[in-house]
Amino acid sequence: MPRLLLLRHAKAAAGALGAPDFDRPLVAQGRRAATLVGEHIAKHRLEPDRILCSGSRRTRETLAALLPHVAGDAEIKVARALYEPAAGHYCDLIGRYGGTANTLLVIGHNPGMQDTAEMLIGSGSGELRDIAATRFSTAALAVIDFEETRWDEVVPHTGRIVAFFRPRDLEVVGQPGVDEDG
C-alpha cells in the first residue's frame, strides 16, 4: 500500500521588493519547524524511500533540515516543475515521478499542496480532510494511504488521510514553541 507524505515548505522570509520569490530562504522559526517535522517522521517511522522537492530555496532548505532525521537512502529528485505545477496541483507529477516508492514525500508550495490534498483524499477523518483542504499551513504534513500499487495509477479521491500534523502539534515539553501560521 503506497503512502504519500505531502509537506508544505517551512516558514520563509517575506519577499523583498524586486527579489525573486524562488530564492526566499527559511527564517529561524522555519528551520526549527522543519527539524521538528523531520524528528516526527523518524519517530513514527514515516521515512520516505523517494523524495520529490521543488527547486525553490525554501523547499530545499526544508529538505536539508529533514535529512538528518531520515533513515536509509531515500532517492531525491529536485524539480523546478514542483515550484509552480502547470495543473495547479501535484497529482500529475506524483504519477510521473513517484516511481516504485512505497513511501513518497513531496515537498512543495501552496496552493498546490492544499489542492493536491483536496483532490486525492477521498476517505478518512472528516476533520483531517477539512484541515488539509483548507488550512495547509507552512511545515504541515499530510499522510495519505492508497490502495493502488503504482503512483501512476492513483486517481482523485482514492486516498485515505491517516494523519495531519502542524509544527504546533509537535511541540515537545521543554522546547520553544513554533508558531507556523502562514
In a domain, 179, yes or no: no
Is residue 159 pLDDT above 50, yes or no? yes
pTM flag (> 0.85): yes
Largest separation between any pair of C-alpha atoms in the chain: 46
**How confident is the model over 98-127, as a mean pLDDT?**
96
Give the pLDDT score at 28. 96
**How confident is the model over 115-131, as a mean pLDDT?**
95
Give the pLDDT score at 168. 86
**In which band, very low, low, confident or very high, does the pLDDT at 169 lie, cut at 50, 70 and 90?**
confident
Give the pLDDT score at 182. 46
In a domain, 145, yes or no: yes
In a domain, 178, yes or no: no
In a domain, 18, yes or no: no
In a domain, 20, yes or no: no
Encode 104-139: b = buried (16+ Cβ within 10 Å), e = exposed.
bbbbbbeebbbbbbbbbbeebeeebbebbbeebbbb
Give the integer Cα–Cα distance in Å for 90 and 70.
Answer: 23
Q: What are phi and psi of 142, to 5 degrees?
A: -105, 135
Give the pLDDT score at 171. 67
Give the pLDDT score at 173. 33
Is residue 91 pLDDT above 50, yes or no? yes
Give the pLDDT score at 176. 52
Q: What is the CATH number of the domain that holds 155?
A: 3.40.50.1240
| Structural domain span for residue 153 | 3-11+26-170
Q: Looking at the 3D structure of the chain, how many domains does it have?
A: 1
In a domain, 52, yes or no: yes
The total of other beta-carbon atoms located within 10 Å of residue 84's CB is 14
**In which band, very low, low, confident or very high, does the pLDDT at 170 lie, cut at 50, 70 and 90?**
confident
Is residue 71 pLDDT above 80, yes or no? no
Give the integer Cα–Cα distance in Å for 24 and 45.
Answer: 30
Is residue 43 pLDDT above 70, yes or no? yes
Q: Give residue 169's identity as a one-letter amino acid code.
A: D
Give the integer Cα–Cα distance in Å for 6 and 68.
Answer: 19
